[in-house]
Amino acid sequence: MTNIAVQELSVKAAMEKDKEAAFHACALDPLTASVVSLPDIRKMFEELWKAEGDRLSYFDV
């Protein structure tokens, strides 16, 4: 069920152009959550979002 929640949040993020749902999907990933703290997941997410910005322009509303 844990993996399904991550997948559902990923789909929600894409369909609703919801950046925060994308972050929640990353934060709920069992492997990520087992080795990285929540503040570090947020930092990593923001760094990746910035690095991939041109590919994520779809999310710009």
Tens of pLDDT along the chain (61 residues) come to 878 999 999 999 999 999 999 999 999 999 999 999 999 999 999 999 999 988 888 887 5
What sign results for the dihedral spanned by CA atoms 12, 16, 20, 26? positive
pLDDT of residue 46: 96
Helix-strand-coil split of the chain, %, nearest 5: 85, 0, 15
All residues at 6 or more sequence positions from 7 whose CB lies less than 8 Å from its CB, including other chains: 25
pLDDT of residue 3: 84
Q: What are the phi and psi torsion angles at 52 (to 5°)? A: -100, 15
